A = this chain, B = another copy of it.
Amino acid sequence: MQQTSMVALEQRLQKLEALEQIQQLKHRYLNACDRKDVEEMRACFAPGPILIDYGAIGVFHDRDSFLELYTRLACQPNVIDLHHGANPEIVLESATEARGRWALYYFNVDAQTGLTRQLGGQYEDRYRLTEAGWRIIETRSRIHSTVEGHSLSTPSQ
């Protein structure tokens, strides 16, 4: 096996590492949404101009304007959210650029009223390798289904 083969091996390894890091980035973001850890959410996006297109929630061109709205809407004691990612399809476009499609299961229950809302949809994302690691530079969600209900018992947090 020659020098070139070893370089090739390392490039293949780097690709797998990048796929792992990008999936973990999105998982960290979704878990932070559920835990309402706004600083952890912020660290998942690149600083500077990005695109966050969350449909009816709004379109944002930097992370801070999105997180300001998120804090106002979601960081309330009665808002209990689940954001579960499924079916990730990550494609590396270069050593520093990638795109990803994810299915989203979102579930919200209002702890005061017991009203529930379930959304199903897909994310289309772009990621970039920055000095601080992979970051989200573009994320668009499209909701396929919306179902409302109510819990038969008092929800608990």
Q: How far is the CB of A28 from chain B (nearest CB, A)?
A: 6
Contact A103 B30 (CB under 8 A): yes
Cross-interface CB contact of A85 among B24, B87, B156, cutoff 8 Å: B87
Contact B155 A152 (CB under 8 A): no
B-chain residues with CB within 8 Å of residue A146 when the two chains form the complex: 151, 153, 155-156
Cα distance A153–B152 in the bound complex, in angstroms = 17
* With A34-B122, A80-B144, A147-B155 already in contact, 9 other A-B pairs whose C-beta atoms are closer than 8 Å: A12-B13, A27-B88, A30-B86, A31-B89, A34-B144, A81-B144, A84-B103, A85-B86, A146-B153
Cα distance A35–B143 in the bound complex, in angstroms = 11
